[in-house]
A = this chain, B = another copy of it.
């Protein structure tokens, strides 16, 4: 049983994951690539994953067999375990709880060679719907307080399999950095009676120097204070506090702007590894006026070093205005 442990000083929680337990010799060399070989995510290999919890399928196909467009399966090596009661405990001065949660993989395509930036945009839309469907289903489980949806693309961005996929983790607590973000937004709202993200969208649209792309429902822009070179945020133009509240037109427009942004990054940075994360409101106050859901997208271009780890103070060598200009002007 994995454990969640809380740093007693700054309140940061950590998963101690015995199931993934590794001995010193188990760590791969930095440069090792797992190209080729058997892929459990490819069509025809359905029996090698845990049984699917969701699939978008052709008429007449059977669960856990071929004929799917998208599958969601539990992670075979989960960081958290779905069965059991949530128990919170002390250990001397320390606090911990058992590692209850869900860890799922969204297999975005049956085709091993299709990436999110190059797949038909309808597939990207399906991926976005699958996030919503899984969030809405897992939300019913009252043990969970937050669901983190994210994508690691490329080995140096943390992907262990190259077949295009996203992940979600349902957590029994709201992560510290989500609380910070939500509390920061709430403070602004209490002071100004306006959503800070709506203010940001207004200023970014007006100045334009950090804008990357725009459609009817969404903007894509470089944030004012990015931690990483070419960091990009995608945000709905109309205030919305949680990811699941979108309309079909909005998911279609999100798929368009997400893929366009990825194509621009691919063009400018020669198909970089990247991470994106969906930032949305915690379940307990899901519909509110102060937090504005969005996607944070970070190409993995630099090594994060001691200074960043030690200070939470990132050194970013590329001004966002320059990054945005490169991305805006890229031919896609």
Question: Which residues of A line the B interface, CB within 8 A?
Answer: 5-18, 20-24, 27, 30-31, 79, 91-94, 148, 150-152, 155-159, 167, 169, 171, 175-178, 180-181, 184-185, 188, 196-197, 199-200, 203, 207, 223-227, 229-230, 268-270, 273, 275-279, 296, 298, 301-307, 309-320, 322, 326
How far in angstroms is the closest Cβ of chain B from A281?
14
B residues less than 8 Å from A302 (CB atoms): 27
How far in angstroms is the closest Cβ of chain B from A312?
3
Q: Are B315 and A276 within 8 A (Cβ)?
A: no
- Distance of A230 Cα from B307 Cα, bound (Å): 19
- Distance of A84 Cα from B225 Cα, bound (Å): 22
Which 10 residue pairs spanning A and B have beta carbons closest together? A158-B305, A277-B310, A275-B306, A177-B312, A150-B306, A175-B311, A5-B225, A20-B317, A175-B313, A9-B184
Contact (A12, B225) CB under 8 Å given A22-B318, A30-B156, A176-B313: yes
- Distance of A157 Cα from B6 Cα, bound (Å): 25
Chain B residue at minimal CB-CB distance from A327: B24
Q: Are B13 and A269 within 8 A (Cβ)?
A: no
Known pairs A9-B184, A16-B225, A180-B312 / 19 extra A-B pairs, C-beta < 8 Å:
A6-B225, A7-B224, A8-B184, A8-B196, A14-B226, A14-B315, A16-B316, A18-B319, A20-B315, A21-B317, A21-B319, A21-B322, A30-B156, A157-B306, A171-B311, A177-B313, A275-B305, A277-B306, A277-B307
B residues less than 8 Å from A181 (CB atoms): 9-10
Which of B15, B178, B316 is close to A314, meaning CB atoms less than 8 Å apart?
B15
Q: Are A313 and B9 within 8 A (Cβ)?
A: no
User: What would 30 A/B residue contacts be, using CB atoms closer than 8 Å?
Assistant: A7-B223, A8-B196, A8-B224, A9-B188, A10-B181, A12-B314, A13-B313, A14-B225, A14-B226, A14-B313, A16-B319, A16-B320, A18-B319, A22-B317, A24-B268, A24-B269, A27-B269, A92-B207, A93-B196, A94-B225, A148-B313, A152-B307, A158-B303, A175-B311, A176-B312, A178-B312, A275-B305, A277-B307, A277-B310, A304-B304
